[in-house]
Structure 1
Amino acid sequence: MVILREGMCPGLDAGLLRNLRAADVKTVEDLVSSDTEELARKCSVSYKALLAIRRVLLAQHTAFPVSGADLYEELLSSTAILSTGNPSLDKLLDSGLYTGEITELSGGPGSGKSQVCFGVAVHISYRLKQSVVYIDTTGGLTAGRLLEMLQTETSNTEEQMAALQRIQIFRLFDVYSLLDCLYGLRSGGLQQASVGGGSVKTVIVDSVSAVISPLLGGKHNEGMSLMIQVAGVLKTMAKDFNVAALVTNHVTRSGSGEVQPGLGASWSHIPRTRILLERLEPAAAVSPSGLRSATLIKSSRQPCHIKAEFDLGWWSRSEEGSSRKRKLDETDS
């Protein structure tokens, strides 16, 4: 408990201190937990001056209890939900990607992890008009592929270019470069990456396991330390800057042969939401080869192990094509 003293912060002089004590406000905790407006009236001081003192004291002494209701209100006011652009995936994610959190897509080769990331980036940059930071650690992202997807969204060249400009791409192929990039983004790079009037709302790392898994195992524990550093900076960046972090991960098999996300138990606590992607084999010639199964394997909002099916080609459909398909479906039914 910290007793209020004269000169603790600008504006806290002897006269105000006497008035505060007369109002039974003797500690820093008393002051910051009081109704500022009512206290200003009792102490004959301006509300603005007392609010400034309160803010300084809060910054200097932060170890005060906060009620669950206050935290919940703060969460509601700060969290945004970003649609992935795919209704099936959004439903599985309880409406989309949540800012302040890490969402993981895991899957084997050909499961569609990168394709989903491409689609999410295009949807957020074009439809939501927000900037995206895309960290490519596998060399799989090309501007041509993004442009191809944007061309199905709009035939307007200026709109295509504006959307492309909102996707900032970093190509990094080792964990040290990844850490340098993430620390740089957290230290001010996110503001610099905001272009076209939209702030950065999504940071995509495709793939986080590509640069970490080669360093895990064996006699050295450096890989584990680097993985925890990556996790830490991603989590603080997501929370402090209110962005949604989307990462991809490879898969391994458990002792019983079950497919599970890679990077081990320590990493499993990092993402708030984890989705396992798997390729669905076409049952017939008419079945689309882009059909994927998505299983929710970790979530704080939805029951685990619920599944959804979606077509990777969803993000490459034009609005006109989708409208025609809906009309045909309605006619057929």
Structure 2
Amino acid sequence: MARLANLETEYPVLDSTVRNFCASHGIFSVEDFLIHDLYMLAAFAEQNDSSERLKEGIAQVLSIIDDMHQPWLNGMELLEDAKRNKHVFPTGIQGIDLLLGDGIHVGQLTELVGPSSSGKTQVCLRTASNVARNHMVLYLDTGNSFSPQRIAYFLGKTISPSSAQAKNQFLQKVMSNISCHSVFDIFAMFDVLHQLESYLRCQDGRGGCQMRLLIVDSISSLISPVLGSSSTLGRALMTSAGYLLKKLAHQHNLAVLVSFARVSSVLVWLN
């Protein structure tokens, strides 16, 4: 989800009047509505000179939240959906591909968990280099761990003997298919994911090279600070992040790979 200030272009009703009223009650984003007493908020809106405008704004945010919920599906529909356009992208690491059932599954979220320095980023980089041969990859780097040199190394080991020029052209093609964004807080990640969602809506139905893999390495540094708060806001943000990543994977045939620094209670948000 996103901050209210970023939604005014798409939803003009969420103007400064509505946002200032919400801010006075500690509401700055759509996530905040999930943990707020909406009956109390509506009561305060009634006492305001701009009550009608405020109620329209509240209704708009609730509509945005409702649109996020997928309709109920029966078992047969879920089975057909699982079979339809759900491909697998090998990571390029034989042992991991064996454990994952041939690789990272499109339409699903794959969790990669392990202690610090256990090789999670190595797997993320190797997977990115493998998929970027034919598809676009979005790599969200939360700890300055993205290494183009490592990707070039992986590619160099798999390229068949050819001229230096051909190798360089292949390297340029693969590297140009990887878009890396540095994100250092969960709100920055939400912003990037919403931009990605808009992009995926536009690319659906088009030909050519398409975005097919999203990597978040690692999400622990984004989730841990909000979970450290005694407020329920942290839990709401955590749930929203998990839901949005799953939604992107399911609705846009995207493979999503998320790494965690350690096994902890944060895993609950994806399950």
What TM-score comes out, normalization by structure 1 length? Answer: 0.54
Q: What is the CA distance between 1:83 and its match in structure 2?
A: 1.0
The AA in structure 1 aligned to 2:254 is V
Q: Which residue of 2 aligns with 1:142?
A: 147
Quote the sequence identity (%).
30
SS in 1 for 2:158: coil
Contact 1:201/1:244 (CA < 8 Å) preserved in 2?
Answer: yes
Query: After superposition, where does 1:272-311 map in structure 2 within 5 Å?
Result: none
Q: Which residue of 2 aligns with 1:321?
A: none
Q: Which residue of 2 aligns with 1:214?
A: 225
Contact 1:162/1:196 (CA < 8 Å) preserved in 2?
Answer: no
Q: Which has the higher strand share?
A: 1
Aligned equivalent of 2:97, options 68, 90, 93: 90
Distance 1:190 1:123, change over 3 A: farther
Contact 2:200/2:252 (CA < 8 Å) preserved in 1?
Answer: no
Distance 1:198 1:265, change over 3 A: closer
Q: Which residue of 1 aligns with 2:251?
A: 240
Aligned equivalent of 2:268, options 266, 269, 272: 266
Contact 2:140/2:181 (CA < 8 Å) preserved in 1?
Answer: yes
Distance 1:189 1:66, change over 3 A: closer
Q: Which residue of 2 aligns with 1:99?
A: 106
Distance 1:265 1:177, change over 3 A: closer
Q: What is the CA distance between 1:125 and its match in structure 2?
A: 1.1
Q: Which residue of 2 aligns with 1:130?
A: 135
Distance 1:99 1:122, change over 3 A: same
Q: What is the CA distance between 1:189 and its match in structure 2?
A: 5.4
Q: Number of aligned residue pairs: give it.
A: 195
Q: Which residue of 1 aligns with 2:24?
A: none
Q: Which residue of 2 aligns with 1:74?
A: 81
Residue-by-residue CA offset, 1:32-73 (whole Å, 9 max, x unaligned) = xxxxxxxxxxxxxxxxxxxxxxxxxxxxxx97x866444423
Contact 1:165/1:196 (CA < 8 Å) preserved in 2?
Answer: no
Aligned counterparts of 1:125 and 1:90: Cα–Cα separation in 2: 17
Q: What is the CA distance between 1:172 and its match in structure 2?
A: 0.9
Distance 1:176 1:72, change over 3 A: same
Distance 1:83 1:216, change over 3 A: same
Aligned counterparts of 1:163 and 1:250: Cα–Cα separation in 2: 27
1:108 pairs with 2:115: yes
Aligned counterparts of 1:66 and 1:209: Cα–Cα separation in 2: 32
The AA in structure 2 aligned to 1:150 is L
The AA in structure 1 aligned to 2:174 is A
The AA in structure 2 aligned to 1:223 is G
Alpha carbon RMSD of aligned pairs, Å?
A: 2.6
Distance 1:66 1:243, change over 3 A: closer
Q: What is the CA distance between 1:142 and its match in structure 2?
A: 2.4
Please say which structure displays the higher CA radius of gyration.
1
Contact 2:242/2:270 (CA < 8 Å) preserved in 1?
Answer: no
Aligned equivalent of 1:153, options 149, 158, 164: 158
Contact 1:137/1:172 (CA < 8 Å) preserved in 2?
Answer: yes
Q: Which has the higher helix share?
A: 2
SS in 2 for 1:79: coil
Aligned counterparts of 2:177 and 2:219: Cα–Cα separation in 1: 22
Aligned counterparts of 1:181 and 1:107: Cα–Cα separation in 2: 25
Q: What is the CA distance between 1:140 and its match in structure 2?
A: 0.7
Contact 1:133/1:167 (CA < 8 Å) preserved in 2?
Answer: yes
Q: Which runs of 5+ in 2 are unaligned?
A: 1-69
* Bigger relative contact order (CA 8 A; separation at least 6): 2
Aligned counterparts of 1:121 and 1:196: Cα–Cα separation in 2: 21
What TM-score comes out, normalization by structure 2 length? Answer: 0.65
Q: What is the CA distance between 1:173 and its match in structure 2?
A: 0.8
Contact 1:166/1:196 (CA < 8 Å) preserved in 2?
Answer: no
The AA in structure 1 aligned to 2:104 is L
Aligned counterparts of 2:120 and 2:179: Cα–Cα separation in 1: 19
The AA in structure 2 aligned to 1:94 is G
Aligned counterparts of 1:139 and 1:196: Cα–Cα separation in 2: 33
